[in-house]
Each structure stands twice: as C-alpha cells, then as structure tokens.
Amino acid sequence: MSLGEPSARTAEEVVARAAGAASLGVLDAAVADCFACPRLVAWREEVAAIKRASFREQDYWGRPVPGFGPADAEIAILGLAPAAHGGNRTGRIFTGDRSGDVLFAALHRAGLANQPTSVAADDGLAVRHLRIFAAVRCAPPDNKPLPEERDTCAPWLHRELSLIRPTLRVVVALGAFAWQAWWPAMTAVYGIRPPVPRPKFGHGAHVRLGYLHVFGSYHVSQQNTFTGRLTPAMLEEVLGAAGRAAGLM
Ligand code: SF4
C-alpha cells in the first residue's frame, strides 16, 4: 500500500482498498496489510507466535498471503487459503508445505514453473503464464474459513481477477471451496451469471463460457495426495488440459 494508507480493518474497508488498487503490486501490499476478520487475524498471529517445533528458529510471516505470479497470466490457480505452517510461515502461497511440493512439481513438469520446489519466498521460484492465489487470504483454523470470512475476503479476489482479466483465459479451481468461490467472482468480474444448475465440482470438471475455461481439480492437500485420491498423473492431466485451453501447449 502507498505510504500512509491505513490497513483494511472492516469489510467495508476491504471493498474500498480493493477497488482502489490500480496494480497487482498495490493490491498485494494492501492484502498483506488486512485485519478485517478478527478470528483469522487472531489465528494467524497465534500460529506465528507458537510455531511448529521444527520451524521454531524461523520468523513466521503471520499475515495475509497475496497472490503469486505475473500480471499477464493466462492461467489462474485458485486455492482455498494459506496453510498455517506453509504460506502463513513463508509469506508465499503454497510455499513450505506438502501441498506446495505436489503442486509445484506438477507445474514444473508442465513447463509453468522454473523449479519443482517451493520452500521459501527467496528460493528463486518463478512461474510463467500463471497467477496463483486463494479465495481466503489468511490461514483459517482447520483449513475451514467461515462463510462470512470468505465473503469479507472476496473483494481482494475479485480485484485480482479484474487486474489479470485482459490475459486470463483459464481458471483451475483446487477443491470444492475454490470452485464455489469462483462463480460469484465470475459474476462480479465478468458480469456473467453462472449456468443453472450451477456446474458440479469434480476432478476434471470443465466449463467453457465464451473464451473463459474453468477446470476443477481435487485439492493438492495431503488428505488427497497421501490417500491417492489425487495422484500426480491426475493433476498433470488437468494442468495439461488447462495449458491447451490457454493455447500454451
Ligand atoms: S481473510 Fe481476507 S479479508 Fe479476512 S483478514 Fe485475511 S485478508 Fe483480510
């Protein structure tokens, strides 16, 4: 945020700050300075203070986690929220946790990331054609944001989508929460009402709306990858379809 701009501390202030963000850089700074959800602010700061034993020597980020990737992205990957000891620790989305290990290995294989690992904000990772962000920008307890927290955070997502809209062609929603968050975002940003009935989430779900493609993928959480519900091949398949739909492969 520009010098002197106050933090967003209410839902109304999120709306105003998001609307006033003229670039991704300004938006990212404003997101990182948001305190609008008391429960999530308390949780992210508590996790950052207590820490996991294996990370006790590290300084946790303990703040909202902005999106990552270039402004001229053709593909957006929409997740749920940062992980308590992943993004909430490192300050970068899908960084420093098992979910990120799976996601970035697949993105690297697909030619969308310069390296297969994402361990720290200064690890040299770069993505191309791709912007990654979450529907809720603060780590929630049990990975479960409340509906009102999702709604309070939505203007950040909607503004981010508006800023990359000129090049955006494909959205990959990781998990049912992101899939649900996409449809109001689409209405807010594109003025398009979701098809009725609303498309059902599933792995490989695909909806085409004009030039815009929306894909669903099971989330890259350990719950899915450790149990084999989501395999590397399954993720690769969706990313390949996304890349082809975006005209990149
Ligand atoms: S979840 Fe979103 S709106 Fe709520 S405090 Fe975090 S960044 Fe702000």
Q: Please check whether residue 169 is in contact with residue 212, taking contact to mean a CB–CB distance below 8 angstroms.
A: yes
23: left (phi over 0), alpha (psi -120 to 50) or beta: beta
Contact, 181 vs 157, CB < 8 A? yes
CA of 41, closest atom in ligand 1: 5
Output the pLDDT for position 249: 85
Digit-coded pLDDT (tens) for 194-219:
999 999 999 999 999 999 999 999 99
**109-147 pLDDT tens trace:** 999 999 999 999 999 999 999 999 999 999 999 999 999
CA dist., res. 93 & res. 188, Å (int):
24
Q: What is the DSSP letter of 53?
A: G
Angle between helical axes of 24-31 and 11-19 (0-180°, round to 10) = 160
Task: Compute the average pLDDT of residues 178-189.
Answer: 97
Q: Quick one: which atom of ligand 1 is closest to the CA of 11?
A: 3
Are 112 and 239 in contact, with CB atoms under 8 Å apart?
A: yes
Question: 115 CA distance to ligand 1 centroid (A)?
Answer: 29
- pLDDT band of residue 4 (cuts 50, 70, 90) is low
Q: What are phi and psi of 233, to 5 degrees?
A: -65, -40
93 and 138 in contact (C-beta within 8 Å)? no
Closest CA to 232 of 214, 218, 216, 242: 218
| Residue pair 64/76 in contact by the 8 Å Cβ criterion | no
Nearest CA to ligand 1 atom 6: 138
- Find all residues with CB under 8 Å of 168, minimum gap 6, and list them: 73, 74, 75, 76, 131, 161, 212
Query: Which residues approach ligand 1 with their CB closer than 6 A?
Result: 14, 31, 34-37, 40-41, 64, 136-138, 149, 152-153, 156
Residue 106 banded pLDDT, cuts 50, 70, 90? very high
The per-residue pLDDT of the chain, averaged, comes to 97
| C-alpha dihedral sign at 189, 142, 230, 103 | positive
98 and 84 in contact (C-beta within 8 Å)?
Answer: no
Write out the two tokens for 95. Answer: 């960084």
CA of 175 to the centre of ligand 1 (A): 20
pLDDT of 1 above 50 = no
- Ligand 1 centre distance from Cα of residue 7 (Å): 11
Q: Which of 34, 88, 151 to mutate to test the pocket of ligand 1 (most atoms within 8 A of CB)?
A: 34
Query: Mind listing the pLDDT tens digit for each residue in 46-83?
Result: 999 999 999 999 999 999 999 999 999 999 999 999 99
Which whole number is the average pLDDT over 168-197?
A: 96
